[in-house]
Amino acid sequence: MPSGCLVVLAQRHLHQLKANPRFEQGMRILRAVKTAFLAVAVLRIGAHVPFKPVYLLTALFSAMCFAKLKVPAYVVYGTVAAVCGLWLAYGALI
């Protein structure tokens, strides 16, 4: 999130900033911190999720999309949300 905000705010000067080694180093650090923060959040949430096949399938799908296919996060989130919505709608009809 912080690195994304920084890029949005610095969009005008981004081409100049990319040439600056300090800026690139700072962005690398922010990306590493963001990744660590997300990993800790996933582990903490995962510890409280019941062990059911549907949850495991969702986690495996997300991991495959992120790690292997390099799909953007918003596409994975949207796909999971759409499938969950369809699943809930189907459950309401039965």
**pLDDT single digits (tens) 24-77:** 888 889 888 888 888 888 788 888 888 888 888 888 888 888 788 888 878 888
What residue segments make up the domains of the chain, in order of their start? Answer: 1-48, 50-94
Distance of CA 27 to the CA centre of its chain: 17
Q: Which residue has the higher pLDDT, 33 or 8?
A: 33
Cα-based distances in Å from 38 to 23, 26, 33? 22, 18, 9
pLDDT surpassing 70 at residue 1 = no
In this predicted structure, what is the pLDDT of residue 86? 92
What's the predicted TM-score (pTM) here?
0.48
3-state secondary structure 1-69: CHHHHHHHHCHHHHHHHHCCHHHHHHHHHHHHHHHHHHHHHHHHHHCCCCCCHHHHHHHHHHHHHHHHC
Residue 74: helix, strand or coil by DSSP? helix
